[in-house]
Structure 1
Amino acid sequence: MDLIFLLLILACFHSIALCDLQGNALFALKNSLNPSGSQLTDWNANQVNPCTWSRVYCDPNNNVISVSLALMGFNGSLTPKVGVLRTLATLSLQGNSITGQIPEEFGNLTSLVRLDLENNRLTGEIPSSLGNLKKLQFLTLSQNNLSGTIPESLEGLPSLINVLLDSNNLSGEIPERLFQVAKYNFTGNKLNCGINPNHPCASDSTDRGSSRKPKIGIIVGIIGGLVVLVFLGGLLFFLFKVRHKGYKREVFVDVAGEVDRRIAFGQLKRFAWRELQLATDNFCEKNVLGQGGFGKVYKGVLADNTKVAVKRLTDYESPGGDTAFQREVEMISVAVHRNLLRLIGFCTTPTERLLVYPFMQNLSVAYRLREFKPGESVLDWPTRKRVALGTARGLEYLHEHCNPKIIHRDVKAANVLLDEDFEAVVGDFGLAKLVDVRKTNVTTQVRGTMGHIAPEYLSTGKSSERTDVFGYGIMLLEIVTGQRAIDFSRLEEEDDVLLLDHVKKLEREKRLDAIVDRNLNKSYNIQEVEMMMQVALLCTQASPDERPAMSEVVRMLEGEGLAERWEEWQNVEVTRRQEYESLQRRFYWGEDSVHNQDAIELSGGR
């Protein structure tokens, strides 16, 4: 067992322990908040990794960085167990009916940047331990029943730029330092405000401390109000005119090889909430088709007996949640291709965001490979070839014929659906990112599924169309082998947990018979299997620059240009393998090396 594998195992143990700690703390928070039976149902005590839970957001290392539980009607209390979340940067619980005190343990949240507990029923004093939160920028405790004095420890918060403590029962002096932040509000308390005319109880973003400020604010407000009224009047007149002229906003889409199409957003149906509630039997759990990072997907039947799939987003309260919804609506509306999932319509309410798609009766490729029920047909080899080519064409369209290009960022068998004719339809654009070719491709958060994510995306956070090519290559391996991208059961026989490593090993040993899915019962063309495996390995090269573009992948699957690319890859791969083996020998047996087995053993039982 080599050192790299041992380090991987140690990293896995660390990640599991971290997830246990965070999951237990958040599950305790859920219980203390007293949610209703329909709230936070995916916060499962047996599934301790909270990074898959709704309203919980993590960084690429599975550290919880944001929890957003605003406006959910909780009437419980806050648990001190939250204090273990040392990586938490945002905690939003505003607009509930939470009672009790703010736990002293909140002072242990040393990464906290934003704490928002506004409009609850909190009592007791503001904990002095909040003075430990050196990264805190936004502190909002307005509209509660907090009492006592403002802790002097808050003066020691160097990053604080916004402190709102209005509408409580606070008394005593206000620490001088809090008057220096960009925005503050202490009104509606029994505090000693207004003694110094330069320290009014509420700040103003302009000309703070000036005696002329109230009058200027009134004048500016009146002028601004008139401008807004005039603007709204003109806008309403415009909307009235265009509505009666049958006006629709048009978006032009360049579809390669076909006549240009015009797509109007007016073609999308805006569903009523009640309509989708009835269609899904009140979003019954038995109708759940799947669940992803943005929410659950339900099977539904409309009043006209049309079967649909309703995607109910769960992150609309999060920063960017509504933006993400709008992005997905616009993106899917303009991306029109036979191998891309079509959007039927959408629904928005103050608390809900939903997308409506046609129901794919043959579900996903992953289902047909690994989850099909007894008596259901297995995907035969000709169908698998069509799926591979159809998926490639869909991705080629996203990358090379959309402007701006669209990167999917989670290409896998589970996200490729099958229509009634078993044609591939690429779905789940919830993880997609629009990339303007004139701008950088740096992302702020790694999205995707482990085993399918390209190495450069994991290490740098930079995504490009070549990250999709890598994911597509892994999907080809799924299609040929029927196996998952990561399978820990292989540890019993070998070291290759990753499907890619497993396939490379068998390819070097010329054992194609051991690669192909046994469910095919040897009903396949071995030359076509070999061709598909070669394309997969070309797509999953470590360097993104060496991977083919999706247009090249389409041509190779159609029989053009594969032989030359494969010969070049083999020459490079042999050289790399020799260099790696030479490096291993030097590492383990070199004169300056110390091969100490005791130093790399795992820790004992705990």
Structure 2
Amino acid sequence: MARVAMVPKCIAPNRLLHLSLLLLVLHCSICGAVNSEGLLLQSFKQGLIDPAGVLSNWNNSDTTPCNWKGVLCSNSTIAVIFINLPFANLTGNVSSKLAGLKYLERLSLHHNRFFGEIPDSFSNLTSLRVLNLRNNSISGNIPQSLSALKNLRILELANNEFHGSIPESFSALTSLRYFNISNNHLIGNIPGGALRRFNASSFAGNAGLCGVLGGLPSCAPSPSPAVAPAFEPPQAVWSHKSSLSGGQIVLLCVSLFLFVKFVILAIFIMRWMRKDNDLEISLGSGGKIVMFQGAAKALPSSKEVLQATRLIRKKHIIGEGGYGVVYKLQVNDYPPLAIKKLKTCLESERSFENELDTLGTVKHRNLVKLRGFCSSPSVKILVYDFLPGGNVDQLLHHATEENLPVDWPIRYRIALGVARGLAYLHHSCEPRIIHGDVSSSNILLDNEFEPYLSDFGLAKLVSTNDTHVTMTVGGTFGYVAPEFAKSGHATDKVDVYSYGVVLLELLSGRRAVDESMSDEYANLAGWVRELHNCGRALEIVDPNLRDTVKDVALDLLLEVACHCVSLSSYDRPQMNKVVELLELLSDTASSPIRSSLTTSLESLQRSASADP
């Protein structure tokens, strides 16, 4: 009997195609395609103009966006929790795609060029604690939907183009600890409730806003229905003749005229007698002001500065230190200047001569520029650029008091800029210059948080054959190197020590000396040295940084700071080596490889031990 062979049925073509697609998707997922949050961020990136290539490492080939520049993920869930891209020169819309990052806790896009409106869908970001969009061009109404963000602690929308009114529902944002909508185009009444805890500076620069806060205009009451005025009988015409004769009226007018003239004369004499007492800067005879030429920006003439200087009063004081008083000087329509009047003592004479001889030729982006000077028998003054951003002491400690954390990019920018400025003074000037009074209050800031070293009150020139110079011990308490306090011998390592204290301030957010703490912890440098010896130096780092900055970057700055504040000057590195180390962070997108870090730290130790 013949056997019949069984022929297998063919697979339907459509099922085969479906199976192939499934295998292709599985293969792509195994090959490392970026996850859903990465796709949302890629969509956000596609709508941006990025001339500096800040987002160049946002690659689709990565499985997660956790190593992308400006992105931080949770260690446990791998979900994106922080987006931190300030000062990145990015242009584009604040994309609604970001609303899909449901675990996002911080969105910082300040100091960029974003425009358009804040998407209403941001109400989905229920974990959001910080929204910082300061210094952009974002417009439209402030979305009422933001009131759904009950965990929001910081809302920074200053210096944008918002219009309309503040949503009434913002009064229920009870978790807010910092709120700033200044310098927009907002109008109407300021809601009560949670917003009443903020002062007028949070709302300044909005001409149409009104409310009960000091410094703001009162809101006009709602107009009531018009009421017809009650009938008033016409006033009776006064028909009595004046009891004064014509001669008496003339005499009364002349007497009144003479009395007014006497009062005016008395006021004039009193003001003339008080004139000299009101003067803050009296140039006397023989004084003249010299303004340097060749500056990149327009400067007033010497005559204009001289005239404006005579009008300086106490209200123009913006700072005072051990070597003089600083005033803000506005000359016509020119950019403002800063005038430092040196105190009349031997130290100030030396300080003035040093600055006069050296600062006029010193040019570095992180040093305050000397624009002119005046030397007269009665007073000596220096003319500098005015820097509107205050100083690092104010930035760190006043911002902390207002619960506004200072972002890592700003702290890093300050640390690197100050290091570069000191390295220039120590290694690029001939003869080299020792600053002698580096402190957070002597580091000024512009509007972009670029740092500038100021106050060369102890600056001395040291020839290349000398290792130190003797000077009267000055400096700021908490920043002075121990050998300088004992002997008055200042080397460049004195500046290195002071820089290390500033670096510790940037990392910890604490003052160099905190008198509210016990003696054991009051001196920041001493406390950190003890913790470092026990392997616990990371405990001093500001919690805001621990949550947002990779450990390897914090380790690097901590090691640099601890080397700088060594008790022995021979163990401190040179500033050019410090700059090389700090630049590792910018060269590797704030995430240096640990092997590079170890090699660089070993080089730092060798450079310190090789110093004379």
Task: Give TM-score scaled by structure 1 length.
Answer: 0.46
Task: Give TM-score scaled by structure 2 length.
Answer: 0.46
Compare CA radii of gyration and give the structure with the larger one: 2
